[in-house]
Amino acid sequence: MKKTLILFTLVLCAICGNAQGQKGLRELGGSFWYSSESNDEWVHYLSTNVESKSERFAIRPKVGWFLNESSVLGLGLGYEFNKYTNHNDILKTNAFSINPYFRNYSKLSEKFYFTTTVNLTFSFKKGVTNDDTDYKSREYRLAVLPGISYFISEKFAIKTYFGALYYNYATVKVIEQEEEFKSKSNDFRLDFSMDSFGLGASYYF
Q: Which domains does the chain have, with CATH numbers?
A: 2-204 (2.40.160.20)
Q: What is the mean pLDDT of the chain?
A: 80
What is the residue type of 28? L
What is the residue type of 31? S
Residue 146 reports pLDDT greater than 70 = yes
Q: State residue 50's pLDDT score.
A: 67
Residue 20 reports pLDDT greater than 70 = no
Reported as a single tens digit per residue, the pLDDT across 92-122 is 889 999 999 999 999 998 889 999 999 999 9
Contacts of 202 (CB under 8 A, 6+ apart): 27, 28, 29, 149, 156, 157, 159
Cα–Cα separations (whole angstroms), residue 161 to 57, 92, 192, 197: 22, 30, 10, 6
Q: State residue 47's pLDDT score.
A: 60
For 121, half-sphere exposure in the C-beta direction (CA atoms, 13 angstrom radius) is 26
Residue 13 reports pLDDT greater than 70 = no
Reported as a single tens digit per residue, the pLDDT across 38-82 is 776 666 655 666 677 888 889 999 999 999 888 999 999 999 999
Q: Rounded to whole angstroms, how far apart are CA atoms 123 and 73?
A: 19
Band (24; pLDDT cuts 50, 70, 90): low
Mean pLDDT lowest among 4-13, 93-102, 188-197: 4-13
Band (16; pLDDT cuts 50, 70, 90): very low
Q: State residue 106's pLDDT score.
A: 92
Average pLDDT over residues 138-158: 89
Question: SS3 of 189, please?
Answer: strand
**Paired residues of 97 in beta bridges:** 78, 123
Residue 123 reports pLDDT greater than 70 = yes
Give the DSSP letter string of 130-181.
TT--EEEEEEEEEEEEEEEEEESSSSEEEEEE--EEEEEEEEEEEEETTEEE
